[in-house]
Amino acid sequence: MAEKVVFTGLGILAPNGKGRQEFWQSLREGKVGYRPVSLFDTSEFFTNIAGEVPDFDAKVYLGQKGLRTFDRATRLMVSCTKLAIDDCGFVITNENTDDVGISCGTTFGSLKSIADFDKVIITEGPRYVNPALFPNTVINSPASHANIWFNIQGFSTTMSNGFTTSLDAIEYASNFILWDRAKVVFAGGVEEMNEYTYWGFHTLKFLSGSRPGESFINCPFDRRRNGVTFGEGACLMVMEEYEHAKARGAKIYGEVISFGYFFDTYSTRKYNPKGTGIKEAIRQALDEAGMQVSDIDYICSNANSTQAADRIETQAIKEVFGEYAYKIPVSSIKSMVGECYSVSGAFAVAAALAALNEGFIPPTVNYQEPDPDCDLDYVPNVAREANVKTVMVINFSPSGANRVMILGKRDE
């Protein structure tokens, strides 16, 4: 059984940066990635702001051929895999491909393809559907196409668990490596921006500015917050068995320390005001790591600019961390990329790796008016230089899933 899992590469296509270096630099600069929607007509909505991956063209990463039938989620995923492979320097061959896998999290990754496919069936009849588009209607299409494109034969797993999905996929990958079932796994998630998911979140009044008379604003922990900014993207961590990475001379960005998970049965649509699941997941991650609260240098939070979630997370941190809660930096990168649903956890891990390797804590931008219920150190507006050795990532949903991960620097 393997002893340690490390991170040796990062592929990312985010609303505020493409590729590891650009994304990390955007976090340092506090650069936001949301803007007026360009992918579809928003004239029927009260708001038109979202976190699209700007000017995305899969041909830049994958060449001209073979992309015609790929939907946006698949193009994002396969392109992201290429970035991850390039970043880690690992060459996939016929000799080692059985030791390589993909663990992908997505929830809405195929929704547009399903809707468009079914629309033709209903309006014109099944004879008029393009059969070449059918593979896009299954949720494992993005990951499977990445496996095929890069000849990754070890395994291909797609999971769907809402907001925490990409962190679930990262733990799944970690376990595969620890159990000696793989040496290298590309793990993370993908979500695409489309009119169907945007309409759904708008109808639920979950989006900032989606209520009549409200203005758009994305300001986690700020008193003015009124809803999420929906976003998209793809993010894959290259996860590797430590001795395997060391033997090939790979650069190590950090290591997996522990995970915590708790499913809260309070509601399928509302955050538990007591934060039961968040607190239990945090405690579980600390216990598994054998750490005290004072061992955590930075919390990359879940905060998504909703009144309930940001307040509940703050209260949970204060209850578990006690007085130390006021000494630890807590920031939300969703202030820059938006709420990217299934891929949000992977984006947070990518930000945690930036903190570990670049020596800064990403800011919570647009923070202006303090909320008495949110009174921690949120690293307002400007990145902070810091020697970060351990990071806790918190990810949770209003439908019960609560996921926490701790990662840190690798001590050689």
How confident is the prediction along the chain (412 residues), in pLDDT tens digits per residue?
Answer: 778 999 999 999 999 999 999 999 999 999 999 999 999 999 999 999 999 999 999 999 999 999 999 999 999 999 999 999 999 999 999 999 999 999 999 999 888 898 888 888 889 888 888 888 888 889 999 999 999 999 999 999 999 999 999 999 999 999 999 999 999 999 999 999 999 999 999 999 999 999 988 999 999 999 999 999 999 999 999 999 999 999 999 999 999 999 999 999 998 889 999 999 999 999 999 999 999 999 999 999 999 999 999 999 999 999 999 999 999 999 999 999 999 999 999 999 999 999 999 999 999 999 999 999 999 999 999 999 999 999 999 999 999 999 999 999 976 5
Q: What is the pLDDT of residue 411?
A: 65
Distance between CA 198 and CA 162 in Å, rounded? 15
Q: Which residue is associated with the tokens 């939070």?
A: 301
Q: Which residue is associated with the tokens 């970043």?
A: 87
Answer for the pair 152, 92: CB distance below 8 angstroms, yes or no. Answer: yes
Angle between helices 307-321 and 276-289 (to 10 degrees): 40
- By C-alpha distance, which of 170, 110, 157, 212 is closest to 347? 170
Q: What is the pLDDT of residue 412?
A: 58
Q: What share of the chain is helix, strand, coil (3-state, %, to 5)?
A: 40, 20, 40
Distance between CA 280 and CA 301 in Å, rounded? 15
DSSP-assigned letters across all residues of 317-352? HHHHHGGGGGTS-EE-THHHH-B-GGGHHHHHHHHH
Kind plus residue range of the DSSP H or E element containing 302: none
Angle between helices 344-358 and 165-178 (to 10 degrees): 70
Q: What is the pLDDT of residue 110?
A: 85
Distance between CA 241 and CA 249 in Å, rounded? 12
Answer for the pair 165, 44: CB distance below 8 angstroms, yes or no. Answer: no
Q: Which stretches of 12-71 are DSSP H helices?
A: 20-29, 59-62
The one-letter amino acid code at 180 reads: D
Length of the chain: 412
Distance between CA 340 and CA 297 in Å, rounded? 25
- By C-alpha distance, which of 157, 192, 239 is closest to 58? 192
- Whether the full predicted model's pTM is greater than 0.95, yes or no, is yes
Answer for the pair 313, 275: CB distance below 8 angstroms, yes or no. Answer: yes
Region of residue 190 (left: phi > 0; alpha: psi -120 to 50; beta: else): beta
Q: Which CATH number fits domain 254-408: 3.90.1200.10, 3.40.47.10, 2.102.10.10, 3.40.190.80?
A: 3.40.47.10
Q: Which superfamily is assigned to 5-247 in CATH?
A: Thiolase/Chalcone synthase (3.40.47.10)
- By C-alpha distance, which of 3, 10, 1 is closest to 239? 10
| CATH 3.40.47.10 location in the chain | 5-247, 254-408
Distance between CA 247 and CA 366 in Å, rounded? 44
Answer for the pair 235, 188: CB distance below 8 angstroms, yes or no. Answer: yes
Beta carbons within 8 Å of 91's beta carbon, 6+ residues apart: none
3-state secondary structure of 174: helix
- By C-alpha distance, which of 303, 296, 295, 299 is closest to 275? 303
Distance between CA 310 and CA 398 in Å, rounded? 12
Catalogue the E-assigned strands of 19-97.
35-36, 49-50
Distance set, CA 245 to CA 172, 316, 338 (Å): 19, 36, 33
Distance between CA 357 and CA 140 in Å, rounded? 32
Q: What is the pLDDT of residue 126?
A: 84
Q: Could you report how far apart the first and last alpha carbons of the chain are, in Å?
A: 20
Answer for the pair 118, 126: CB distance below 8 angstroms, yes or no. Answer: no
Assigned token pair, 136: 């896009």
The one-letter amino acid code at 253 reads: Y
Assigned token pair, 129: 């559907």
